[in-house]
Amino acid sequence: MGGPVAQGQPGNRFGAQGQFGNRFGTQKKQFQVPGKGPEVPQAPKLILPADAAVITIKPPIVVRELAEQLKQKPFKIIADLMESGVFASVNQSIDETVAQKICAKYGFRFEVEKRERGGGIVHPPSRKVDLDQFDKPEDLVARAPVVTIMGHVDHGKTSLLDVIRKSNVVAGEAGGITQHIGAYTISFPHPERKKELAQITFLDTPGHAAFSSMRARGANVTDLVVLVVAANDGVMPQTLEALSHAREARVPLLVAVNKVDHPNANPLKVRQQLQDKGLVPDDWGGDTIFVDVSALTKQGVDKLIEMILLQTDMQELKANPNRRAKGNVIESGLEPGGPTATVLVRKGTLRVGDVIICSQYYGRVRALINEEGKRQKEAGPSVAVKVLGLNGVPEAGLEFSVVEDEKSARDLAGQRAQAARTLGQETTRAKVTLENLFDRLASTTSKVLKVVVKADTQGSVEAIVDALKKIESEKVSLDVIHSAVGTITESDVALASASDAVILGFHTRIDSGVADKAKHEGVQIKLYAIIYELIDQVKEAMAGLLEPLLKDITVGSAEVRKVFQLSKGAPVAGCMVASGRIVKGKVRVRRRKEIIYEGIAQSLRRFQDEVNEVRAGMECGIRVDGFSEFQVGDFIECYMMEKIAQKL
């Protein structure tokens, strides 16, 4: 073989790598370790007067801080450091000896501030802040249930809450409630143990948005949802929305059929409508408790409270009150006295003077205020109080924890703030779109596509939901978490955000401002005018959830005609491309049809030139990373992996 490969040019070319080695070797000598090399000029020893002013800095000694203490501009200190052979930026730290020299130049004596414990340790062992602790079963005691009241607008949620509030057997005179804190606790005689006063905490959430914003942050603070339905109106869109929320959060449900005193009341119709939605009344052989009430005449309110107590008794709710408190923010705001947060304590006891941390905010509890506007010293499990003392306004749903001391709270809050800044404006939760569902769920074992369906007519809604449910697949399941008639609203976005769902709209529009909210929450909204397009895209998305099949395709094959041993590194195979084309990338070495090695083509040369591709009938030099045992007659195959989408 008398081609260019036989002349050994690729060999010489590879051998020339030694020159690079020498060149880098010579360059290396020019770099010096800051402040240590022989080229660093020795500064003349400065003798300071005995009464020289002293500068003390806690390690690490940062250039900016040193400049501030010396009352000099940072660039001047950087220049002085460069003179001493030390190259540091304004935010980097320097050695104690270097800092002493710089201070001496300006007539100051430098001392390192010793720490109280383990004096002078520059890097004290970092102590992990303990935000939670394991509760032993013997420490747990019964706690009050936390109940959220939800339902359609004008179905009497607020009136019912007011009546329940007045049912409190230990309340003061009427009008004593001056403070709206988004939650309140009532005491009521236990239905089975009449002498015992049981407590219930009601969350007065402003609609479903707060409930879903809490769920979107992973805070399921509710033990029971009371779904209020008006007996004269029956099931309305927001009733179904509330039902979707409760189901997604996997919270037990109790139905209060309100306005039973209304002339057009039809409690039977309500039961029938909810039975169609899967809530079978207990008196019809189901497991959902229905209570007929009237907020106006107070009929059935006591029975409702008793049923709440009986249903939550079955859950055996417990918490440990003798530990550092932990819970969630229900509401927050900025008032004349500073930031306030209404918190619900889930476990432990929150006391005045405790140091609490909530996301990137922290502070010492200055005051705890209950729903009557009275100050109290502590709040135990399932109690909601307004907290004063945080240094910022945390968002609803965020978790708070009590920590040992202010320093650890400050450090942790700083780390969280830094992490939030690093993430920038991106939402921390991964965005779900129909296109990226495969990437989003590649790690999860059960593959579920959750959707919210909105359309212009009830017929369209039912047709779409039926068509979606007919998509059959063993590996991917489809979950329609909410479907309704009407435009796409903020509460649809809140529900989709909390459930990692996609909103599908058919012949409908998006309310004003909803698109921005969806973008902020990372919720995808898809609008369609043709039902088949909608179904096909959902099918494609579900197929995308299936992991693609991998198939390798042989791109080309080359026969080894000669092996060139080099002075340095692996040998080069002089080859003739037999078929297809050879490119840099994944290769297999075959010997008598057996694969003996798989690796990467490290280098591909034609004559002296490094090339990306060599076609059939041409000669080339190939070097395979990590393989050196070529024999004449071997075949080098170039191949690539192709992902083939699975079909449902």
Q: Domain spanning 326-423: which superfamily? A: Translation factors (2.40.30.10)
Average pLDDT, the chain: 79
User: Is the model's pLDDT at 312 over the cut of 90?
Assistant: no
Express each pLDDT in 420-470 by its tens digit: 766 654 443 445 667 666 555 554 545 788 899 998 877 778 788 888 888
DSSP per-residue letters across 471-508: ---SSEEEEEEEEEES-B-HHHHHHHHHHT-EEEEES-
The pLDDT of residue 574: 94
User: Is the model's pLDDT at 326 over the cut of 60?
Assistant: yes
Q: What is d(CA 274, CA 276) in angstroms, rounded to the nearest whole number?
A: 5
Q: Which amino acid is at 129?
A: V
User: Is the model's pLDDT at 634 over the cut of 90?
Assistant: yes
The pLDDT of residue 284: 86
- Span 213-229, average pLDDT: 74
Q: Is 553:600 a contact under the CB 8 Å cutoff? A: no
The pLDDT of residue 426: 47
Q: Domain spanning 137-319: which superfamily? A: P-loop containing nucleotide triphosphate hydrolases (3.40.50.300)
pLDDT band, residue 44 (cuts 50/70/90): low
Express each pLDDT in 148-205 by its tens digit: 888 877 777 778 888 888 776 665 444 433 345 667 788 888 888 778 888 888 886 5
CATH number corresponding to 549-644 = 2.40.30.10
The pLDDT of residue 43: 47
- Span 594-601, average pLDDT: 89
Express each pLDDT in 74-98 by its tens digit: 889 998 888 888 888 888 888 888 8
User: Same fold for the domain at 137-319 and the one at 437-545?
Assistant: yes
Q: Does pTM top 0.75 for this prediction? A: no
User: Is the model's pLDDT at 643 over the cut of 60?
Assistant: yes
- Span 56-63, average pLDDT: 84
pLDDT band, residue 410 (cuts 50/70/90): confident
Q: Domain residues of the chain, as ranges?
A: 54-112, 137-319, 326-423, 437-545, 549-644
What element of type H or E holds 229?
A: strand 224-230
User: Is the model's pLDDT at 594 over the cut of 80?
Assistant: yes
For CA atoms 409, 411, 417, 419, the dihedral sign is negative
pLDDT band, residue 10 (cuts 50/70/90): very low
Q: What percent of the chain has pLDDT over 70?
A: 79
Q: Domain spanning 437-545: which superfamily? A: Translation initiation factor IF- 2, domain 3 (3.40.50.10050)
**Residues 20, 22, 27, 28, Cα dihedral to 10°:** 110
User: Is the model's pLDDT at 417 over the cut of 50?
Assistant: yes
